[in-house]
Each structure stands twice: as C-alpha cells, then as structure tokens.
Amino acid sequence: MAEEKIGEVEKFFGKISVAAIKLSAPLKVGETIKFKGHTTDVTQTVESIQIDNQAIPEAKAGDDIGLKTKEKVRPGDTVYKVT
C-alpha cells in the first residue's frame, strides 16, 4: 500500500478525540489515512471532515480541518493518505 503525506497534526483534543490537521494535499470522506509519529501508528477511514464546526465532504490543500480519530494522536504526527 502506498502512502502519500497529506498533512500534520497541529493539536489533539483528547476529551472528544478530534485532531486539528493542517492539510498539504486534498482529502475526502471515505479515504483511508494513517497517523505516524514517534509513538503513533494509527490507520483509519475518514468518516467526517469539519471546518469551523461545519461538516464537509472534502477539503483541499492549505485547509485547517478537524477530524475524529479512533485513537490518540499527537501534535507533530504526520498524516498520510493510504492508497
């Protein structure tokens, strides 16, 4: 499976399990992503993307998005799209 870097985690909100991500490439709902860092290795399907608390079907490079995660991720973790 190929991995393409699409962004980086800027912040993680533990109580609601949401990562704030700065995208460097487009991302759509339904795609598979991987969070990778020193102690992080989480693969999941994107179930929803939000910008300013509004759900959107896809985001473009340069967007700051909120993404629900199934496990804890950390600021500085790299986000990859898995194809």
Cα separation, 67 vs 71, whole angstroms: 12
77 pLDDT more than 90? yes
47 pLDDT more than 90? yes
Domain annotation for the chain: domains and CATH numbers: 3-82 (2.40.30.10)
Whether the model clears a pTM of 0.85, i.e. scores above it, the answer is yes
Query: What does the pLDDT read at residue 50?
Result: 97
pLDDT-based confidence at residue 40 (cuts at 50, 70, 90): very high
Across the chain, mean pLDDT equals 97
Residues 42 and 69: beta-carbon distance below 8 Å: yes
Output the CA torsion sign for 71, 77, 44, 29: positive
Query: What does the pLDDT read at residue 1?
Result: 80
